[in-house]
Structure 1
Amino acid sequence: MAHHNGPRKKTRYKYKKELRKRGLPPVTSVIQRFEIGDRVHVVVEPSVQKGMPHRRFHGKTGTVIGQRGRAWMLTIRDGDAEKTVIARPQHLKAQK
């Protein structure tokens, strides 16, 4: 049998949305802005596939280090390593 190793494997329950939150997110999540140095949470929005970070970073918190087109570059600690993650704003939430 073929290997099924796509970018969304093992995400059946991780990316599941609540019943009344299904569908596309509001436009305000697309136009949100961040400043360099802001702390943001990576919460993957499964209804938007573009600019989706890797499933390993879902639920993590990172620091904004720049912008690349419509996406934001974050630095996130993954074990002992600092990783750079590029994600669109639909998948980011500002830390309060």
Structure 2
Amino acid sequence: MSRGSRSGSRNILTKRIKERGMPKVNDLLKTFDVGDRVAIVINPAVHNGMPHHTFEGRTGIVSGMQGSCYVVSLNIGNTTRKIISAPVHLKRLYQ
């Protein structure tokens, strides 16, 4: 039985039929500022900078940059996790 990093993620990392294909250029070039609230929405067509599928749907705050990716701080239970994610996998939340 295989237990790789993508095990149990068939529904999460599958696009619907009309959503298939590569993302638009604007999705790849999104920019965020430190302190922005973002949701992690994984785009399975882009493997670069993809966070682990357990963080799908979680919300956090952008705390910095690392190369072309963003560092997102998440509060999970009593711990704070720092996730490195490409901008195509992040969605800005407005308040």
So what's the TM-score if we normalise by structure 1? 0.93
Aligned positions, number = 94
RMSD: 0.9
Using the alignment, how far apart are the partners of 2:58 and 2:13 within structure 1? 14
* Superposed displacement of residue 42, structure 1: 0.1
Counterpart of 2:66? 68
* Superposed displacement of residue 60, structure 1: 0.4
So what's the TM-score if we normalise by structure 2? 0.94
Counterpart of 2:57? 59
The sequence identity of aligned pairs, in percent, is 35
Counterpart of 1:39? 37
Q: List structure 1 segments (4+ residues) > 3 angstroms apart after TM superposition.
A: none
Counterpart of 1:28? 26
- Please give the per-residue CA displacement for 1:16-48, whole angstroms capped at 9, x wherever unaligned: 212111011111111110000000000011011
Instruction: For structure 1, list consecutive stretches of 5 or more residues without a partner in the other structure.
Output: none
